[in-house]
Amino acid sequence: MITLALSKGRIFEETLPLLRAAGIEVLEDPEKSRKLILATNQSDVRVLVVRATDVPTYVQYGGADLGITGKDTLLEHVAEWGGNVSAAGLYQPLDLQIAKCRISVAVRADFDYASAVRQGSRLKVATKYVAIARDFFATKGVHVDLIKLYGSMELAPLVGMADAIVDLVSTGNTLRANHLVEVEHIMDISSRLVVNQAALKLKQAPIRNIIDAFASAIAK
Ligand code: AMP
């Protein structure tokens, strides 16, 4: 049995064509079903529906053989292992080039970020991505107090709780709607295929088939 961990929503939708290219059809829609284990047209392949932030955990601890996760989520997950994907027992063979966006620093339109940085001010930064934010500001030599949030980061500068946020940006509409402006582009983000290293050794042929089918589907 090959088990693939996916999260609902954008990643799930954008993964379906890749699965199809590998000859795999998921038999149920996770948005309609309450089932957490979905069968596929291949009796030896199943899909687990898990929270996006839990995908690397399921793959690392062998609950799933493979998973698809954003680079943002993967970097935060492996921070505990010194930022090393392989030290976390994971193998990252492919950038699937789906769910593309960027991770950026944003501030209120009336906050002068450039002069705060120039003056060496200590910034309060609200984010779900504490490892990515810590690394970014440390490299820049900016002192920050990080405030961990789990969602709606945009609120923090509006209510005076933070000077800046670090969040995913796609169209920029969410920032604009909340009178925030992007002041730093930290990195581009896309979804990655992650594989449990032990599973890859034990089930090499079927897992390689999936990796190869995904790779040729991306190239098209
Ligand atoms: P946008 O308004 O298009 O810039 O989208 C920004 C909002 O969507 C933010 O709240 C992000 O957390 C979320 N978002 C954007 N792109 C992604 C992505 N690829 N994966 C997960 N969340 C995303």
> How far apart are the CA of 170 and the centre of ligand 1, in A?
5
- Domain range enclosing 13: 2-99+190-219
The pLDDT score that the predictor gives to residue 34 is: 94
Q: What is the pTM of this model?
A: 0.96
> How far apart are the CA of 86 and the centre of ligand 1, in A?
27
Residue with the smallest CA separation from ligand 1 atom 23 is 168
Give CA–CA dist 66/178, Å, rounded: 37
Ligand 1, atom nearest to 70 Cα: 20
Residue with the smallest CA separation from ligand 1 atom 12 is 168
Q: Which of 96, 100, 165, 168 to mutate to test the pocket of ligand 1 (most atoms within 8 A of CB)?
A: 168
Q: Which of 100, 169, 182, 187 to mutate to test the pocket of ligand 1 (most atoms within 8 A of CB)?
A: 169
**111 C-beta neighbours (distance < 10 Å), count:** 17
**85 and 137 share a domain?**
no
**213 and 156 share a domain?**
no
> How far apart are the CA of 103 and the centre of ligand 1, in A?
9
Q: Is the pLDDT of residue 24 over 80?
A: yes
Q: Is the pLDDT of residue 220 over 90?
A: no
The CATH code of the domain that includes 106 is: 3.40.190.10
**202 and 95 share a domain?**
yes
Query: Residue range 14-19: average pLDDT?
Result: 95
Ligand 1, atom nearest to 167 Cα: 12
Look over the chain and give the mean of its residue pLDDT values, rounded to a whole number. 97
Which two structure tokens, joined as six digits, stand for 60?
A: 């690392």
**95 and 143 share a domain?**
no
**139 and 214 share a domain?**
no
**107 and 162 share a domain?**
yes
Give CA–CA dist 12/49, Å, rounded: 9
**116 and 16 share a domain?**
no
71 membership: H or E segment, kind and range: helix 71-78
**114 and 180 share a domain?**
yes
Residue with the smallest CA separation from ligand 1 atom 19 is 99
- Contact status, residue 200 vs residue 206, Cβ threshold 8 Å: no
Residue with the smallest CA separation from ligand 1 atom 16 is 170
**90 and 113 share a domain?**
no
Q: Is the pLDDT of residue 204 over 80?
A: yes
- The angle, 0 to 180 degrees and rounded to 10, between the axes of the packed helices 71-78 and 130-140 is 80
Which two structure tokens, joined as six digits, stand for 182?
A: 């992007």
The string of pLDDT tens digits covering residues 116-148 is: 999 999 999 999 999 999 999 999 999 999 999
Domain count within the chain: 2
Look at residue 196 and give its three-state secondary structure. Answer: strand
**158 and 134 share a domain?**
yes
> How far apart are the CA of 171 and the centre of ligand 1, in A?
8
**57 and 83 share a domain?**
yes
HSE-up of residue 90 (Cα within 13 Å, Cβ side): 29
**75 and 160 share a domain?**
no
3-state SS, 90-117, equals EEEEEECCCCCEEEEEEEECCCCHHHHH
Residue with the smallest CA separation from ligand 1 atom 6 is 169
The string of pLDDT tens digits covering residues 72-82 is: 999 999 999 99
Give CA–CA dist 193/92, Å, rounded: 6
Query: Residue range 199-203: average pLDDT?
Result: 98
Ligand 1, atom nearest to 177 Cα: 2
